[in-house]
Amino acid sequence: WWIRQAISRAMADQSRTIRLPVHLVEQVNKLQRIRREKNQELGRDANHAELAHELDITEERVRELLDLSRDLVSLDQTVGADDDASLGDFIADERANAGESAVEDGLMRAQLYDVLGTLEAREAAVVRMRYGLDGGQPKTLDEIGRSFKLSRERIRQIERETMAKLRHPSRAQVLRDYLDD
């Protein structure tokens, strides 16, 4: 029996692209064996509840073990009859436009700071703090008021006046291109 065990352990360690611990391989193998037996007994595919009952585990655990037993697919695997295309050619790279997006964000941030530079220092600081433009979290009117030793209502007035200035066509036109995105 120890020879059989050594062979099965060696197969468990070396047969998969991504190695699973031996105890998981044994659980997956047991699930597959029970699944085959149930399929023959019932004449159909056994559902997760039946397999879970037979193995005395939860249905969620059955799903996890079935996920572990799935075969891996290589992204270099050829697709179609011409053998020119691989599976990886058909998978979109979500980060492909990340560089372009970072450049756009940088340009927008630079133009935003240019526009804020046309305001009085306190007005620009209130807007930066209120909307978290300095890389931090947006601050409440009360927090901003404490830092300037002003009331929350006065900060609200400054913010409203500043936003009205920013809506003026001479300033707003600079940022209008970014609003459509």
Q: What's the total number of domains in the chain?
A: 2
Q: Let me know whether 174 and 115 are in one domain.
A: yes
- Residue 62 domain-assigned (yes or no): yes
Q: Let me know whether 63 and 128 are in one domain.
A: no
As a whole number, mean pLDDT of residues 78-84 equals 74
pLDDT exceeds 70 at position 161: yes
Contact 145, 152 (CB under 8 A): yes
End position of a domain, from candidates 36, 71, 106: 71
Q: Give residue for tokens 């020879």.
A: 3
CA distance 158 to 147: 14
Q: Let me know whether 49 and 114 are in one domain.
A: no
As a whole number, mean pLDDT of residues 130-156 equals 91
The model's pLDDT over 3-28, given as tens digits with 9 standing for 90+, comes to 888 887 787 777 777 777 888 888 88
- Residue 82 domain-assigned (yes or no): no
Lowest mean pLDDT among 57-66, 69-78, 92-101: 92-101
Which residue would you say has higher pLDDT here, 99 or 143?
143
As a whole number, mean pLDDT of residues 154-161 equals 94
Q: Return the number of other C-beta atoms located less than 10 Å from residue 62's C-beta.
A: 23
3 state SS of 141 = helix
Q: Let me know whether 105 and 175 are in one domain.
A: yes
Residue at 50: amino acid letter: E
DSSP string, 46-61: PPHHHHHHHHTS-HHH
- Residue 43 domain-assigned (yes or no): yes
- Residue 102 domain-assigned (yes or no): yes
pLDDT exceeds 90 at position 145: yes
CATH code at 6? 1.10.10
Q: Dihedral (C-alpha) 99, 102, 103, 109: value to the nearest 10 degrees?
A: 180
Which residue segment(s) compose the domain that 30 sits in?
2-71
- Residue 86 domain-assigned (yes or no): no
- Residue 76 domain-assigned (yes or no): no
- Residue 85 domain-assigned (yes or no): no
Q: Return the number of other C-beta atoms located less than 10 Å from residue 162's C-beta.
A: 20
Q: Identify the pLDDT of residue 174.
A: 75
- Is the entire prediction scored with pTM above 0.85? no
Q: Let me know whether 44 and 114 are in one domain.
A: no
Would you call 164 exposed, middle or buried from its count of C-beta atoms within 10 A (0-12, 13-18, 19+)? exposed
Q: Give residue for tokens 């459509």.
A: 180
Q: Identify the pLDDT of residue 75.
A: 77
CATH code at 112? 1.10.10.10
pLDDT exceeds 60 at position 181: no
CA distance 179 to 111: 13
- Residue 147 domain-assigned (yes or no): yes
Q: Let me know whether 122 and 62 are in one domain.
A: no
Contact 123, 168 (CB under 8 A): no
pLDDT exceeds 90 at position 79: no
